[in-house]
Chain A
Amino acid sequence: MLEIKDLHVAVSGKEILKGLTLSIGSGEAHAIMGPNGSGKSTLSYVLAGRAGYEITSGSIRYRGEDLTALAPEERAAKGIFLAMQYPVEIPGVTTLTFLKTALNAQRRARGESELDAVSVLKLVRAKAAELKVPEDMLRRALNVGFSGGEKKRLEILQMALFEPKLAILDETDSGLDIDALKLVAEGVNALRTPDRAMLVITHYQRLLNYIVPDKVHVLSRGRIVKEGGKELALELEARGYEEIVKDAA
């Protein structure tokens, strides 16, 4: 599904990722854990194609295709979804309008027919009910005045709606209380199918109790320094990053 080889990425001339290699297969869920400043968010932005993240060397292949040549919206249409750590507010644009616009833009890009307002509403309502997103949230401006938890739930609602092939969850657990965390995790788990892959980026092990990864990678100073199974997350939680990173060095 995703093959990252010796990836070097610079932001404003400063190298953040320094030779990252990672491979995720269909049906797998991987976790990337690392301390602040290790390059976790940079990795998520590079995968989504944000401007300003310069790939100086290395490669990213997604389903056999060179990902770096694609614009962000092309990546989205091809099934890459990034649930953001800080979802953005867009005043004046209702959530529903936004969802319809995005859904139809993706469908159009894939050569599928666009959905009319009624079909979109039906679809969104069904997903919203599962994630306990209240109807009135859909009529409010996108993320404007939403609580941290509401914003994160809306990200997962979008993930459910767009049915991506590769979902990247960037610190989805931050700002969530335990009930919201469970709800979000259920939403994510419901999407774990053999033809889909997940990359869960998190600072804390907590989320991984609910979204159990197949593999855990520890990111430090722009490189993967340790890899293991789901038990590695527990070890990190118990011993702290510093010790693990030291061991690895």
Chain B
Amino acid sequence: MAAIETREKVAALGEKYKYGFVTDIEMERAPKGLNEDTVRFISGRKDEPAWMLDWRLGAFRRWVEMREPTWARVRYPKIDYQNAYYYAAPKRTPQKQSLEEVDPKLLETYNKLGIPLSEQKLLAGVAVDAVFDSVSVATTFKQKLNEAGVIFCPISEAIRDHADLVRKYLGSVVPVTDNFFATLNSAVFSDGTFVYVPKGVRCPMELSTYFRINASETGQFERTLIIADEGSYVSYLEGCTAPKRDENQLHAAVVELVALDGAEIKYSTVQNWYPGDENGLGGIYNFVTKRGDCRGRDSKISWTQVETGSAITWKYPSCILRGENSVGEFYSIAIANHFQQADTGTKMLHLGRNTRSRIISKGISAGRAQNTYRGLVSVHAKAANARNYTQCDSLLIGHECGAHTVPYIESRNSTARVEHEATTSKIADDQLFYCLQRGIGQEEAVALIVNGFCKEVLQQLPMEFAVEAQKLVGISLEGSVG
């Protein structure tokens, strides 16, 4: 039952960009532009304690001194950081206690997106936090999770109610000054999800956050912090959509994961922000810093991403393999069609002994898109017996797109073993013809072949989502052949 409904939910993600609609709802915004007052405004709206405001201001002051990075293979006009809103929230929402108090317009929006938020309609196995522009508007199954001791709430709430945990871990994986976009996020992040799984607890359900950008000229800066205490396990999935607009909107998120001794975090993303139209007009600029810290021994962090949206993707979910015997994984499908540009990959930093990592990346380029895999495997001197295996395959559809592979392998330990393989190919004419001859139409054939190409990654997704993610793969490539 749950599986079927979940499938329907992701099925919604899978149909042609049908969530390009806008919800007409009364919004409250911070004044346009970015300065210390903006930061104070955001912090004030969230009733944050002074330490949090200081943290944000510290970040803002550093950010002013920083320069936007240019090393990625993405080209875009200069972003005017003063010409955007940094906070937008539906007027009626915050402080919501129960779903009954949520603005019916919002509930309707999420219904349209295929994410019903009323618990009786919800899939039994998945708890959802819905983030609408700058605020979390609904979190489901809190009660059931509470019974297990799992904290699953908007990060704005965690800052107030679980300050000790937030203070201890926020910025401990992605330091405030890590990079331009992460620092910006540290100054102005508005909401996001906080998860804490206590010692020895296996989280009883999939956790998921659904991010929605609605307001125009507004950036979304969500912040996610997941802590898996000793011996615990959690699987988390995020989905993202935005309305169709001719303007480019900035999304700069930070995700921090901490896995203590023996803990495991599985983090899956289906990113389908509006990619812009077939002429490259509009779309989300997606500059995201995601990093997991395998802090404890025998811990494991696994990233799986299906990246089909955004005009620009700049994203390198990484693992710091600090704990002995810790394991990092990165499974990625990145599809770039039309004028999309994706520069995505991972960093596996082997610090501890017997650490292992595995990278499977499948990049698909079509139209006039540019798709780059950029990955670092670094073995430090003390990482005895570290192991890495990387497989990186690119598929080109059409002759006007580009596929690029930029792996960095740095080894400083003689007992470590690092292996990297990469291939680049196109869909063979004979494969396509074979499918056609058996009665499968062109677009379905492309979807089938590309799904085969991506199989190893799709298998990593939670089962209910994998089937429908396949559909999304096909839909993202519509119009790429013929």
List residues 95-120 of chain A with CB under 8 A from any CB of chain B: 97-98, 101-103, 105-106, 109
**How many chain-B residues does the 8 Å CB contact rule pick out?**
23
| Cα distance A49–B431 in the bound complex, in angstroms | 14
Binds B, one of A54-62, A81-89, A239-247: A81-89
Residue of B whose beta carbon sits closest to that of A107: B439
Q: Are A105 and B437 in contact (CB under 8 A)?
A: no
Query: Would A88 and B434 be within 8 Å (CB), given that A93-B452, A98-B448, A101-B444 are in contact?
Result: yes
Q: Are B439 and A84 in contact (CB under 8 A)?
A: no
| Cα distance A97–B448 in the bound complex, in angstroms | 9
Query: Would A76 and B452 be within 8 Å (CB), given that A88-B431, A101-B444, A105-B444 are in contact?
Result: no
Q: Inside 8 A of A82's CB, which chain B residues have their CB?
A: 437
A206 within 8 A of B: no
The secondary-structure label for the interface of chain B is: helix
The 8 A CB mask of B410-442 against A (1 = contact, 0 = none) is 000000000000000000111101111111111
Q: Are B455 and A51 in contact (CB under 8 A)?
A: no
Point out which of A71, A84, A90, A98 has the most chain B C-beta atoms below 10 A from its C-beta. Answer: A90
Q: How far is the CB of B114 from chain A (nearest CB, A)?
A: 22
Q: Inside 8 A of B431's CB, which chain A residues have their CB?
A: 88-90
Q: Inside 8 A of A73's CB, which chain B residues have their CB?
A: 436-437, 439-442
| Cα distance A102–B438 in the bound complex, in angstroms | 6
B389 within 8 A of A: no
| Choice from B429, B433, B441, B448 contacting A93 with Cβ under 8 Å | B448
Residue of A whose beta carbon sits closest to that of B442: A73
- Residue pairs across A and B with CB atoms within 8 Å: the count is 80
Q: How far is the CB of A96 from chain B (nearest CB, A)?
A: 13
Q: How far is the CB of B356 from chain A (nearest CB, A)?
A: 24
| Cα distance A54–B379 in the bound complex, in angstroms | 57
Q: Inside 8 A of A106's CB, which chain B residues have their CB?
A: 438-439
A145 within 8 A of B: no
| Choice from B428, B435, B442, B452 contacting A92 with Cβ under 8 Å | B452
List residues 441-462 of chain B with CB under 8 A from any CB of chain A: 441-442, 444, 448-449, 451-456
Q: Are B439 and A162 in contact (CB under 8 A)?
A: yes
Q: Inside 8 A of A88's CB, which chain B residues have their CB?
A: 428, 430-431, 433-434
Q: Inside 8 A of B440's CB, which chain A residues have their CB?
A: 73, 101-102, 105
Q: How far is the CB of A187 from chain B (nearest CB, A)?
A: 17
| Choice from B430, B433, B448, B451 contacting A72 with Cβ under 8 Å | B433
Q: Inside 8 A of B453's CB, which chain A residues have their CB?
A: 91-92
Q: How far is the CB of B463 from chain A (nearest CB, A)?
A: 15
| Choice from B441, B444, B448, B454 contacting A90 with Cβ under 8 Å | B448
Q: Are B438 and A162 in contact (CB under 8 A)?
A: yes
| Cα distance A98–B441 in the bound complex, in angstroms | 13
Q: Are A90 and B434 in contact (CB under 8 A)?
A: yes
Query: Would A50 and B433 be within 8 Å (CB), given that A73-B439, A106-B439, A158-B438 are in contact?
Result: yes
Q: Are B436 and A76 in contact (CB under 8 A)?
A: yes
Q: Are B454 and A102 in contact (CB under 8 A)?
A: no
Please give the residue numbers on chain B whose beta carbons come within 8 Å of chain A beta carbons, in ascending order: 428-431, 433-442, 444, 448-449, 451-456
Please give the residue numbers on chain A whose beta carbons come within 8 Å of chain B beta carbons, in ascending order: 48-51, 71-73, 75-77, 81-82, 84, 86-93, 97-98, 101-103, 105-106, 109, 141-142, 158, 162
A-B contact pairs, 19 of them (CB 8 A): A72-B433, A76-B436, A76-B439, A81-B437, A82-B437, A84-B434, A88-B428, A88-B433, A90-B434, A90-B448, A91-B455, A92-B455, A93-B448, A93-B449, A93-B451, A101-B440, A103-B439, A105-B438, A141-B452
